[in-house]
Amino acid sequence: MSVPQVNIIVKYNDKQLTIPCKKQQSILDALTENHIFISAVCAGRGTCGKCRIKVLEGEIAISREDELFFSKTELEEGYRLSCTAYPGTDCTISYDINEERDFYIVTDSDIRINNINDRKDKVEKEDKEKKEKKEKKEEKEEKGLDVSCTGYKTRNPDFDKKYMSTDISEKKFGIGIDIGTTTIAMQLTDLENGEIIDTFSTINKQRSYGADVISRIESSNKGKKEELRQCIVKDLTEGIGRWINPDTALQIEHIVIAGNTTMIHLLMGYSCETLGVYPFTPVNIKTIYTTYDKLLEDSTWNIPIVIFPGISAFVGGDIVAGLLTCNFADDKKLKLLIDLGTNGEMAIGNSRKIIAASTAAGPVFEGGNITFGTGSIPGAICNVNITEGECHVKTIAGKPPIGICGTGVIEAVCELFKEGIIDETGLLREEYFEDGYPLVYSNSSDKLVFTQKDIREIQLAKSAIRAGVEILLRRYGVSYEDIDTVYLAGGFGYKVDVRKAMKIGLLPKEFDGKVQAVGNSSLSGTVRYICDKDAIKHIAHILDTSHEINLSNDMDFNELYVKHMYF
């Protein structure tokens, strides 16, 4: 007997399709089942307010959660949360895909790759084209464009100009890929000289199953393992397919992938049952050697694929790739690597010893769990300045403000504290406590506000990072002064104002002058693996000298975590 269902017409990005929705099934689940992925930071629990849809035709009852996240006007216009929307009849909905389209993501590292298979002793000086590109960047920066956080959702125009108009039959390429919890980024690399030819980045489609690895693990354990795997497969084939399709005919020698342990488990189809419970045992964290046809189920291509090894369940191959990027294996100077991503991974050490850890920072640094938070997309607030009671903001690409990204979150908190609008405990002044502090008015005259809940979210995240850093230093037996360089990794880390991060207590003031932003260090590590003949040796050394400390049951960490909640 078939389950009664209704039909939903879905309109998005100038497209329209009809999908079935079983009775007693939420629209979010129906969308996900039909491979339409929208953000659901809270994994469909109705607590984040991100899975917004608009009902164009038909009736969907207003839920209690809808009343919390939408104004009376918005509810009358048909706005609902898809996770609490249960249609009783056929209906037509639309949703905004801004968060997936034109996603700005850091893919460049300040760390330069040396020893490109000894093909070149030195990278050539910038040619005229690169100088012109740099001048354009500076010009855009003056206009408020967050140019450091850029990637190409469509093909890099320089790629077509340089490689589609010349004979490339003799050229060989490699593809480096970082599978992040929030974003997936990849780069096409010329094996002759190590040059980055093209870049692709997108939001991880698994976001429909929650923003963090715990939510993904829970979904996998509840029977969604294959659906989660297919999300990554779809993202990978979409990106890689730009370079291996018949139109380009590029000769791809190999593909190298890095990701946290959970992402690699989901990609490989491993069970996640032991990842989510003590003692958090991974199925496999060794180097994986496979091929495109086996991993991505496409017999057309037989390209070798290497997947970075990890250190533990919570310190994965992405951190190993970052350690490779930052030359931990061959430098006696003491370094600290902090990845300001969802999992808050970090490591301290040098060529003799490395200690690593992971903190539950959450998705705040990528705009998650923030009332009007968004990814690094055009229109996201990335800079905030409050002077004499007036709030001034800059947005990515200079577009009208639609939300606030991770960089903007740090800016907002710093400015609110500087102006005395929040106190050292994070409490908003009385006049803003209920409705939040208005950052800007949007085109629809609705306020984009920063709320008391948003401030609490950043307090939780920044105290987790800061406490983790201090525990690493204690366990290593060193002080702030002993650290030579602090590498700040991740898309968020590349553009953050380090001084403002220090003012709110995310980083200690003692790190002033020592911080070096390295962008997506995991992605850079995969590219280095492709180009550096000594990379395998360095990775082996990193694994031999590394060990993890578990912060979840560390009493000192818990004390510091509470201490650093304050500003």
Tens digit of pLDDT for each residue in 530-555?
999 999 999 999 999 999 999 988 88
Q: What is the DSSP letter of 541?
A: H
Establish if 443 belongs to a structural domain: yes
Residues 135-141 have a mean pLDDT of 49
Among 73, 94, 115, identify where a domain stops. 94
Residues 361-374 have a mean pLDDT of 83
- Report the pLDDT value the prediction gives residue 148, as an integer from 0 to 100: 32
Residues 296-309 have a mean pLDDT of 92
Task: Retrieve residue 366's tokens.
Answer: 């990528």
Establish if 80 belongs to a structural domain: yes
Residues 388-410 have a mean pLDDT of 89
Domain count, the chain: 2
- Is 494 or 13 the better-scoring residue by pLDDT? 13
Show the domain range for 410.
Answer: 367-448
Among 419, 448, 477, identify where a domain stops. 448
Asked if pLDDT for residue 308 goes beyond 90, the answer is yes
Establish if 375 belongs to a structural domain: yes
Separation between Cα atoms, residue 546 and residue 533, nearest integer Å: 22
Establish if 470 belongs to a structural domain: no
- Report the pLDDT value the prediction gives residue 122, as an integer from 0 to 100: 35
Q: For CA atoms 90, 95, 101, 103, give the dihedral sign.
A: negative
- Report the pLDDT value the prediction gives residue 118, as an integer from 0 to 100: 40
Separation between Cα atoms, residue 455 and residue 301, nearest integer Å: 49
Q: Supply the DSSP string of 245-309, one letter for each residue.
A: STTT---EEEEEEEE-HHHHHHHHT---TTTSSTT---S--S-EEEEHHHHS--TT---EEEE--
Tokens 């950052």 sit on residue:
439
Asked if pLDDT for residue 360 goes beyond 90, the answer is no
Cβ burial of 329 (10 Å; 0-12, 13-18, 19+) is buried
Confidence of residue 366 (pLDDT cuts 50, 70, 90): confident
CB atoms near residue 503 (< 10 Å): 18
Asked if pLDDT for residue 215 goes beyond 60, the answer is yes
Asked if pLDDT for residue 125 goes beyond 80, the answer is no
CB atoms near residue 82 (< 10 Å): 24
- Is 281 or 246 the better-scoring residue by pLDDT? 281
- Report the pLDDT value the prediction gives residue 111, as an integer from 0 to 100: 52
Among 37, 60, 94, identify where a domain stops. 94
Asked if pLDDT for residue 121 goes beyond 70, the answer is no
Asked if pLDDT for residue 136 goes beyond 70, the answer is no
Mean pLDDT of the chain: 85
Asked if pLDDT for residue 298 goes beyond 70, the answer is yes
Ranges 64-73, 366-375, 412-421, most confident: 412-421
User: In whole angstroms, how far apart are CA 561 and each of 453, 461, 506, 507, 551?
Assistant: 18, 10, 11, 13, 10
Establish if 178 belongs to a structural domain: no
- Report the pLDDT value the prediction gives residue 531, as an integer from 0 to 100: 93
Residues 327-343 have a mean pLDDT of 92
Q: Poorest-confidence range of 77-91, 151-165, 296-310?
A: 151-165
Indicate which CATH number applies to the domain containing 10: 3.10.20.30
Residues 289-312 have a mean pLDDT of 94
Residues 97-125 have a mean pLDDT of 47
Amino acid occupying residue 469: V
- Report the pLDDT value the prediction gives residue 109, as an integer from 0 to 100: 54
Establish if 110 belongs to a structural domain: no
Amino acid occupying residue 309: P
Residues 102-111 have a mean pLDDT of 53
Residues 70-79 have a mean pLDDT of 90
Confidence of residue 43 (pLDDT cuts 50, 70, 90): confident
C-alpha closest to that of 260 among 345, 376, 325: 345
Residues 44-52 have a mean pLDDT of 85
Asked if pLDDT for residue 261 goes beyond 80, the answer is yes
- Report the pLDDT value the prediction gives residue 3, as an integer from 0 to 100: 60
- Report the pLDDT value the prediction gives residue 42, as an integer from 0 to 100: 82
CB 180 within 8 A of CB 212: no
* Percent above pLDDT 70 for the chain: 84
Asked if pLDDT for residue 31 goes beyond 60, the answer is yes
Which stretch of DSSP H or E encloses residue 161? helix 157-163
* Number of residues written out for the chain: 567
Asked if pLDDT for residue 380 goes beyond 80, the answer is yes
What lies within 8 Å, CB to CB, of 274 at 6+ separation is: 280, 281, 282, 283
Chain Cα centroid distance, residue 126: 30
Establish if 322 belongs to a structural domain: no
Establish if 19 belongs to a structural domain: yes
pLDDT tens-digit series, residues 161-201: 554 444 555 789 999 999 998 889 999 999 988 999 999 98
Asked if pLDDT for residue 147 goes beyond 90, the answer is no
Residues 463-481 have a mean pLDDT of 96
